[in-house]
Amino acid sequence: MLCAVIGTPVPGRSRKEDRKYTTLFQQWTPPAGYDIKAMYFGLDDTIVGLVDVQTSAVFCEAIFPWVLGWEWKVIPVIEASEMLTIVQKFLCLAGQSSRSLARNSDMAGRHRRPLPVQMGRLGAATRA
């Protein structure tokens, strides 16, 4: 599964911890099944990556060294053309559902709107 991975440093992390993570990253090798397509580092120490992950276990193995010093957001992503196909399918289904719902409500007669309710004395509800 293709994912966007965004890591932000935990607030209050010391420079010593920053150096420790830099050294760890230089020595780290991603596990098999964790294919880094792109990785970027922000000036605010944010990490943004695009990774292809085979299993959730592989993802856990890859991210484990970084869980204490970083907060992570993982977003499954797909190509725009695939998303458009999914959206078009949904819109077709939603359109069919809307037409079906409208047809069924026409058969049942006119829609009845609830009468407005006002609070009467001592909190009793009364019809307006």
pLDDT by residue for the chain (128 residues), tens digit each?
999 999 999 888 888 988 888 899 899 999 999 999 999 999 988 999 999 999 999 999 999 988 888 899 999 999 999 988 988 888 888 776 555 545 555 544 454 544 444 444 444 444 44
**pLDDT score for 114:** 47
How many helices (H) and strands (E) the chain has is answered by 3, 6
**pLDDT score for 102:** 54
**pLDDT score for 103:** 59
Could you count the other beta carbons within 10 Å of the beta carbon of residue 6? 17
Report the distance separating Cα 6 and Cα 50, nearest Å: 9
- The CATH number given to 2-76 is 3.30.70
Report the distance separating Cα 98 and Cα 103, nearest Å: 9
Q: Are strands 70-76 and 125-127 parallel, antiparallel or unpaired?
A: unpaired
Q: Which amino acid is at 61?
A: E
Do the Cβ atoms of 57 and 78 come closer than 8 Å?
Answer: no
H helix runs in 39-79, sequence order: 56-63
**pLDDT score for 96:** 67
Whats the size of the chain, residue-wise?
A: 128
Q: How is the chain split into domains, by residue range?
A: 2-76
**pLDDT score for 94:** 78
- Tell me the β-bridge partners of 11: none
Q: Which amino acid is at 7?
A: G
